[in-house]
């Protein structure tokens, strides 16, 4: 179930483009965080999901356009959409190119040693955790949790001037998102204990 991105109002001043964080945009952002947290829970936490990485990056670019959120989220990085199959394919292609390029230059025994060593390197590469080269779903959840914390801080400051009913609805959406994200992150960490 793809989650739709929240609406935004964009203003252009000179060459910089900034997005005005209105109450309706803030409300939609809180709803999106809740729905996105529930969607992320359906995926394997320890694997890189390319679709989720691209979806997060697209959404995060929109979130960073809000000046009220950009300063707090400056140190948060985009997701790295690099999957295990991509790394394995690249390593295999490089190995085949090296095999054919250097195959005739070395004696047969050295060539056999190179092929077997490269084969064991590929096997070892398969067991390298995906979080070292790509962004796993668990790491995306941590990034979304940071956005939720920033939204909640802004909400509690009172600068959005919500009505009481809207305030509690937004607060509930953010709390549901926080609970779901923390639960999934905690479950992912318990697997490794």
Indicate the angle between helix axes 137-157 and 50-64, nearest 10 degrees.
20
- 56 plus 148 within the same structural domain: yes
Position 13 scores a pLDDT of: 46
- 63 plus 144 within the same structural domain: yes
Residue for token pair 């390197």: 121
Residue for token pair 């600068």: 159
- 72 plus 147 within the same structural domain: yes
- The sign one gets for the Cα dihedral 55, 56, 58, 63 is positive
* Mean of the per-residue pLDDT values of the chain: 85
H or E stretch covering 9: strand 9-13
Are 174 and 152 in contact by the 8 Å Cβ rule? The answer is yes
Within-domain flag for 98:
yes
- 13 plus 101 within the same structural domain: no
Position 94 scores a pLDDT of: 87
Q: Which of 15, 62, 67 is nearest to 36 (CA)?
A: 62
Range of 158's domain? Answer: 9-76+137-190
Q: Which of 125, 126, 133 is nearest to 48 (CA)?
A: 133
- 162 plus 184 within the same structural domain: yes
- 163 plus 70 within the same structural domain: yes
93-136 pLDDT, tens digit each: 988 888 877 767 777 777 778 778 888 888 888 898 898 999 99
- 100 plus 62 within the same structural domain: no
Q: Which of 174, 137, 152 is nearest to 32 (CA)?
A: 174
Work out how many domains the chain is built from and give that number: 2
Map residue 14 onto helix, strand or coil: coil
Q: Is 58 exposed, middle or buried (0-12, 13-18, 19+ CB in 10 A)?
A: exposed
Indicate the angle between helix axes 137-157 and 164-190, nearest 10 degrees.
150
Put simply, whether the predicted model's pTM sits higher than 0.75 gets the answer: yes
- 68 plus 149 within the same structural domain: yes
Mean pLDDT across the stretch 73-88? 92
Position 66 scores a pLDDT of: 92
- 107 plus 13 within the same structural domain: no
Position 14 scores a pLDDT of: 43
- 141 plus 69 within the same structural domain: yes
- 106 plus 176 within the same structural domain: no
Mean pLDDT across the stretch 33-47? 92
Better-predicted residue by pLDDT, 97 or 152: 152
Report d(CA 35, CA 56) in Å as an integer.
Answer: 13
Beta-bridge mates of residue 17: 12
**What pLDDT band is residue 12 in, cutting at 50, 70 and 90?**
very low
Within-domain flag for 16:
yes
Within-domain flag for 46:
yes
């Amino acid at each position: 179930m793809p989650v739709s991105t929240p609406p935004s109002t964009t203003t252009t001043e000179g060459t910089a483009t900034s997005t005005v964080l209105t109450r309706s945009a803030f409300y939609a952002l809180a709803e999106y965080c809740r729905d996105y947290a529930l969607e992320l829970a359906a995926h394997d936490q320890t694997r890189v999901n390319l679709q989720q990485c691209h979806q997060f990056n697209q959404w995060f670019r929109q979130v960073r356009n809000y000046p009220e959120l950009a300063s707090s989220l400056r140190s948060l990085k985009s997701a790295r959409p690099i999957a295990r199959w991509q790394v394995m394919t690249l390593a295999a292609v490089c190995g085949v190119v090296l095999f054919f390029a250097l195959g005739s230059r070395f004696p047969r025994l050295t060539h056999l040693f190179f092929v077997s060593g490269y084969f064991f390197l590929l096997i070892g590469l398969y067991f390298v955790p995906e979080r070292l080269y790509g962004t796993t779903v668990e790491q995306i959840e941590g990034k979304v949790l940071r956005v939720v914390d920033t939204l909640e801080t802004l909400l509690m400051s009172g600068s959005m001037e919500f009505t009481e009913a809207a305030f509690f609805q937004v607060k509930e959406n953010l709390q549901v998102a926080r609970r779901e994200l923390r639960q999934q992150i905690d479950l992912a960490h318990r697997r490794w204990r």
